[in-house]
C-alpha cells in the first residue's frame, strides 16, 4: 500500500536484504531459494506492492504476454461472444487481450491494422473471419506471433484453425426447410462476397438443394454485407423478384433480422408466406418475433478453443498445425 507505481526490484531486494537476482528467482521459481529467504522476499514484495515493469520484462524475455483478436466488426454479437471467450481463457493465463476492429467497408483496413499489431510484438493473434489475403497471414507468421485462424481451412495458410462445421450446419438447416417444411423456392442472402463464413455457408445451401434434386435458383442469390442493413437491402431485392421466394436463407442472423424488417414492412406473413432463417444464434435471434430459426455457432467456445491453441503454442508445442472443428446444431423456432 506504499508507493504503488514506482517500486522497483532493487527496492524489494534492499528491503529483504538480498540481491535482485534472488528476488527474481523467488518470483520466477527458476532456481531454488531457501525457505527463509523466500519468506523475507515474499513479504517485502507484499509490503511494497511490487509489480514487475512489463516493458523491462518484455525487453528481456522477448514476450509481451499479450494476444490480439482481429475481427471485422466489434459490434457484431458473434464477435463479441468470440472476444469474451478468448479473453476468459487468456486472462486466466495472465495474458492481456486486445481486440481490434478492421472494418471491411471502405477498402482493406486489415493490412494496416495487422501492421500495427505486429509492431506491438504480440505473442499471438487470433484472426477472425475475413477475406484475408495470403500476404496478411504471412505477415503475421513472419512477425513471430503465433496465429490461429477462424472459420477457414487449415490448408489455406500458416497457423492453427478453429471453425464451426458451417457447411454441414447450413446443409442441415436447408434440408430441414426442404424435407420437413416443404419450402419450394429458397433464396439466399450472403454477406460480403469472398468473406470467410459466407462461402462455407453458401456451399451448404447448395449441397442441400443438390441432394434434394433441386436446381440452385441463381436469380435468388444476392451478396450484401453481414449486417441488418445488408439484410434489408438483400431482402428488398429478392422480394421484388418476378417470382419471389417462399423462403430466404440468410448467411447470418443480422441479415435475417434485416430481412424480417422488410417482410414486415411489405406485409409478408412470416413464416406463412415467407420463411426466414439465420445463422449464429446470437442473443437477438430469440428476441425478435417471430423468433429466428437458425444454427447455433458456438462463438464463445470458438474463442476459448482459439485461446487454448494459442497458449499451447506459447508453451512450446511444436506439433503440426491443428484444426479444431466445433459441432453445429439447428435450432427450430417460429420463423420457418
CB of 61 or CB of 75, closer to DNA = 61
Bridging pattern class, strands 275-277 and 323-326: unpaired
Cβ atoms 128, 79 nearer than 8 A: yes
Residue 128 near a copy of itself by CB under 8 A: no
Residue 100 near a copy of itself by CB under 8 A: yes
| Per-residue cell: 94 | 495472465
CB of 141 or CB of 236, closer to a copy of itself = 141
Stretch that binds a copy of itself, among 14-22, 47-55, 208-216, 217-225 (CB under 8 A): 47-55
Residue 314 near DNA by CB under 7 A: no
Bridging pattern class, strands 221-223 and 247-250: unpaired
Residue 8 near DNA by CB under 7 A: yes
Count the neighbouring beta carbons within 10 Å of the beta carbon of residue 156: 13
Q: Is the peptide bond before 245 cis (omega within 30 degrees of 0)?
A: no
> Which of 232, 189, 197 is CA-nearest to residue 104?
197
Residue 87 near a copy of itself by CB under 8 A: yes
Task: Give me the helix-helix angle, 110-119 and 134-142, nearest 10°.
Answer: 0
Residue 23 near a copy of itself by CB under 8 A: no
Instruction: Tell me the C-alpha to C-alpha distance, in Å, between residue 202 and each of 25, 71, 168, 188.
Output: 56, 21, 11, 8
Which residues inside 50-109 make contact with DNA, applying CB under 7 A? 50, 52-53, 56-57, 59-62
> Which of 211, 230, 179, 182 is CA-nearest to residue 72?
230
Among 13, 235, 288, 296, binds a copy of itself (CB under 8 A): 288
Residue 31 near DNA by CB under 7 A: yes
Contact residues for a copy of itself, defined by CB under 8 A: 4-5, 51-59, 64, 66, 74-75, 77, 80-81, 83-84, 87-88, 91, 94, 96-101, 115-116, 118-121, 139, 142-144, 228, 257, 283-284, 287-289
Contact residues for DNA, defined by CB under 7 A: 8-10, 17-22, 24-25, 27-28, 30-34, 36-37, 50, 52-53, 56-57, 59-62
Amino acid at each position: 500500500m506504499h508507493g504503488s507505481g514506482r517500486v522497483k526490484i532493487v527496492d524489494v531486494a534492499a528491503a529483504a536484504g538480498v540481491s535482485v537476482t534472488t528476488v527474481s528467482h523467488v518470483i520466477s521459481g527458476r532456481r531454488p531459494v531457501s525457505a527463509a529467504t523466500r519468506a523475507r522476499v515474499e513479504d517485502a514484495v507484499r509490503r511494497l506492492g511490487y509489480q514487475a515493469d512489463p516493458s523491462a520484462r518484455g525487453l528481456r524475455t522477448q514476450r509481451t504476454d499479450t494476444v490480439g483478436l482481429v475481427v471485422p466488426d466489434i459490434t457484431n454479437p458473434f464477435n463479441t461472444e468470440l472476444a469474451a471467450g478468448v479473453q476468459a481463457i487468456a486472462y486466466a493465463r495472465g495474458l492481456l487481450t486486445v481486440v481490434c476492429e478492421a472494418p471491411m467497408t471502405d477498402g482493406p483496413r486489415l493490412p494496416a491494422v495487422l501492421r500495427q499489431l505486429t509492431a506491438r510484438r504480440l505473442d499471438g493473434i487470433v484472426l477472425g473471419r475475413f477475406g484475408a489475403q495470403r500476404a496478411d497471414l504471412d505477415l503475421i507468421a513472419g512477425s513471430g506471433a503465433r496465429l490461429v485462424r477462424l472459420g477457414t481451412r487449415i490448408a489455406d495458410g500458416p497457423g492453427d484453425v478453429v471453425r464451426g462445421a458451417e457447411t454441414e450446419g447450413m446443409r442441415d438447416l436447408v434440408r430441414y426447410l426442404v424435407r420437413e417444411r416443404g419450402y419450394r423456392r429458397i433464396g439466399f442472402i450472403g454477406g460480403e462476397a469472398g468473406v470467410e463464413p459466407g462461402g462455407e455457408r453458401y456451399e451448404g445451401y447448395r449441397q442441400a438443394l443438390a441432394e434434394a434434386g433441386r436446381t440452385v435458383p441463381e436469380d435468388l442469390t444476392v451478396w450484401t454485407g453481414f449486417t441488418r442493413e445488408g439484410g434489408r437491402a438483400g431482402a428488398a431485392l429478392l422480394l421484388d423478384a418476378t417470382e419471389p421466394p417462399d423462403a430466404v436463407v440468410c448467411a447470418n442472423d443480422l441479415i435475417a433480422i434485416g430481412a424480417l424488417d422488410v417482410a414486415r414492412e411489405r406485409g409478408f406473413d412470416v413464416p406463412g408466406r415467407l420463411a426466414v432463417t439465420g445463422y449464429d444464434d446470437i442473443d437477438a435471434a430469440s428476441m425478435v418475433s417471430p423468433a429466428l430459426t437458425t444454427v447455433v455457432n458456438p462463438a464463445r467456445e470458438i474463442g476459448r478453443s482459439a485461446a487454448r491453441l494459442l497458449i499451447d503454442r506459447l508453451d512450446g508445442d511444436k506439433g503440426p498445425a491443428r484444426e479444431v472443428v466445433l459441432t453445429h446444431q439447428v435450432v427450430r423456432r417460429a420463423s420457418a
